[in-house]
């Protein structure tokens, strides 16, 4: 028997509720390695990651990169079983990644399978059957989960994430017993319970109703409502500024009239997102107490339909000329504050700010440019130091950790001694970096949540 053969192990699980946990897989692989004289020198892990795609599986991607690059300090990769390698809907995809390892001289061995991965016709046939079974298991499980969620949606339960401005999530049992009321950013499981949407704080409810009244006025528009609320210090969820998309979401979503609509999109296995026809959408009326009356909601939708049209380049230029005539100068701030439409619309129609100026024939003279530059230099020089230094934030986080025994997004948001999460994101790059600075080890659920947030943030357009 060969001894001290360096090998690597790859472990994966989709969620922490699985029986085949990372620890269980590692223990089984250790027994397998001990009986064959293997020495596990490296571990590649994907915790809380689905096996349907390769894109989100940083562990497997790193394994393949090391193997293909030829600098891997091992010649064998140990995997618990075929399904841990992946539940790809195309079995050839799983075979392709194993082929890459074989081409680089690295063998893949499955520790819990009843066959040896030795390349014999029997092993290849069984392995392909196992891959097809793993894919079919995911398809059946997805179908069952979809039908279960559809049944809950028909009963008026909320299956989404954030409820939206003016609403809150209430955890109830099937017989209607209220267990908890979740505020913004609060999460937690109650086995056997589900979520209903209820009215939020009275000031948010009044703000929603006021937004509908403002829009029905003669000069009511998305941008005007956003500027008015922000000017009054009446901000959106989490202290965010009101924007045109946020105002539009409030004025067009049927949940504010008590109707939950689902099924607009369908997520296929593997992460594919497809749009479903409107006739296939599910409408559940009277699922929650309405914030506005049906008559007011219909009136707003009629006005939106009547005013919804494509803004032409000529109209955008004419509005910029109006702003220039009224204010005597132009800037991005002035256009945002006094334009009829959003800055993004002007840019889509006319191009960048410099291109807008060129088409209007508007030029800043050299003296004006010099004065503006000097003004901004003075602003930067006179800018007060940041209220929350890096040392103060780290000290505050450690104190919060010592006081609560753990850290999470909710605790950080609620601590008055710590800055807003957007400040932390800009200064430190996110929670992962903060946790590393103070030496805090997040739980597996927190790691999965941070990884998902980073993945979504990466996909956002710059």
Helical H runs in 104-182?
A: 121-154
| Pairwise CA distance, residues 217 & 230, whole Å | 19
pLDDT tens profile 364-421: 766 666 766 776 677 667 666 666 677 888 888 888 888 877 888 778 877 777 877 6
pLDDT at site 459: 42
CB 141 within 8 A of CB 18: no
The candidate with the shortest Cα–Cα distance to 358, out of 315, 317, 322, 310, is 317
pTM, two decimals, is 0.56
| Pairwise CA distance, residues 26 & 43, whole Å | 9
Q: Helices (H), strands (E): how many in the chain?
A: 19, 11
What b-and-e string marks burial along 251-272, b requiring 16 or more CB atoms within 10 Å of the CB? bebbbbbbbbbbeeeeeebbee
Per-residue pLDDT of the chain (462 residues; tens, 9 = 90+): 445 889 999 999 886 555 578 888 999 999 999 888 899 999 999 888 888 888 888 899 999 999 998 888 999 999 999 989 988 888 898 899 999 999 999 999 999 888 888 888 888 899 889 988 988 888 888 888 888 888 888 888 888 778 889 999 999 888 888 888 888 777 777 777 888 999 999 999 999 999 999 999 988 888 889 999 999 999 998 888 898 889 999 999 999 999 998 888 877 776 667 788 888 888 999 889 999 999 999 999 999 888 777 788 999 999 999 999 998 888 888 888 888 888 888 988 998 888 888 888 888 766 666 766 776 677 667 666 666 677 888 888 888 888 877 888 778 877 777 877 667 766 777 777 788 888 888 877 677 666 655 544 444 433
pLDDT at site 433: 79
| Pairwise CA distance, residues 110 & 87, whole Å | 15
Q: Which residues pair with 260 in a beta bridge?
A: 284
| Cα 422 to chain centroid, rounded | 15
DSSP letters for 314-364: HHHHHHHHHHHHHHSS--HHHHHHH-SS-HHHHHHHH-SHHHHHHHHT---
Show Cβ contacts of residue 316 under 8 Å, excluding neighbours closer than 6 positions.
Answer: 341, 345, 346, 349, 350
Q: Which residues pair with 9 in a beta bridge?
A: 43, 78
pLDDT at site 456: 45
CB 282 within 8 A of CB 254: no
Q: Phi and psi for 10 in degrees, rounded to 5? A: -120, 125
DSSP letters for 259-287: -EEE-SEEE-TTS-EEEPPGGG-EEETTS
pLDDT at site 101: 92
| Cα 315 to chain centroid, rounded | 36
Show Cβ contacts of residue 418 under 8 Å, excluding neighbours closer than 6 positions.
Answer: 388, 393, 396, 397, 400, 412, 424
301 class by beta-carbon count within 10 Å (0-12 exposed, 13-18 middle, 19+ buried) = middle
């Amino acid at each position: 028997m060969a001894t001290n053969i360096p090998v690597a192990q790859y472990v994966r699980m989709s969620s922490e509720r699985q029986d085949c946990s990372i620890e269980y897989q590692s223990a089984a692989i250790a027994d397998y390695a001990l009986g064959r004289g293997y020495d596990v020198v490296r571990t590649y892990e994907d915790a809380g990651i689905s096996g349907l795609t390769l894109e989100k599986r940083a562990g497997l991607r790193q394994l393949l990169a090391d193997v293909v690059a030829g600098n891997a300090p091992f010649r064998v990769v140990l995997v618990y079983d075929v399904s841990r390698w992946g539940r790809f809907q195309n079995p050839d995809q799983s075979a392709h990644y194993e082929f890459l390892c074989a081409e680089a001289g690295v063998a893949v061995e499955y520790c819990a399978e009843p066959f040896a991965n030795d390349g014999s016709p029997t092993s290849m046939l069984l392995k392909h059957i196992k891959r097809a079974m793993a894919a079919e298991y995911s398809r059946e499980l997805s179908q069952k989960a979809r039908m279960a969620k559809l049944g809950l949606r028909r009963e008026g339960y909320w299956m989404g994430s954030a409820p939206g401005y003016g609403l809150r999530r209430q955890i109830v049992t099937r017989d209607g017993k209220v267990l908890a009321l979740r505020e913004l950013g609060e999460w937690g499981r109650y086995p056997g319970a589900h979520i209903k949407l209820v009215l939020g704080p009275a000031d948010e409810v009044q703000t929603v109703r006021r937004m509908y009244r403002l829009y029905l006025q003669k000069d009511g528009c998305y941008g005007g409502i956003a500027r008015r609320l922000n000017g009054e210090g009446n901000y959106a969820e989490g202290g965010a500024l009101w924007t045109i998309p946020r105002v539009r979401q409030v004025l067009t979503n049927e949940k504010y009239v008590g109707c939950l609509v689902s099924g607009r999109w369908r997520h296929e296995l593997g992460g594919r997102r497809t749009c479903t026809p409107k006739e296939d959408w599910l409408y559940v009326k009277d699922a929650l107490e309405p914030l506005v009356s049906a008559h007011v909601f219909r009136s707003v939708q009629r006005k939106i339909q009547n005013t919804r049209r494509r803004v032409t380049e000529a109209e955008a230029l004419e509005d910029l000329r109006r702003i220039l005539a009224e204010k005597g100068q132009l800037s991005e701030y002035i256009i945002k504050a006094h334009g009829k439409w959003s800055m993004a619309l002007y840019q889509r129609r006319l191009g960048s700010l410099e291109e807008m100026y060129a088409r209007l024939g508007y030029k800043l003279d050299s003296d004006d440019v010099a004065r503006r530059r000097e003004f901004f230099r003075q602003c930067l020089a006179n800018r007060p130091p940041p209220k929350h230094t890096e040392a103060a934030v780290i000290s505050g986080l450690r104190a919060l950790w010592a006081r609560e025994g753990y850290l999470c997004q909710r605790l950080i948001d609620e601590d008055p001694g710590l800055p807003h999460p957007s400040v932390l994101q800009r200064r430190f790059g996110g929670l992962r970096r903060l946790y590393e600075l103070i030496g805090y080890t997040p739980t597996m659920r927190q790691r999965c949540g941070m990884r998902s947030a980073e993945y979504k943030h990466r996909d956002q357009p710059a």
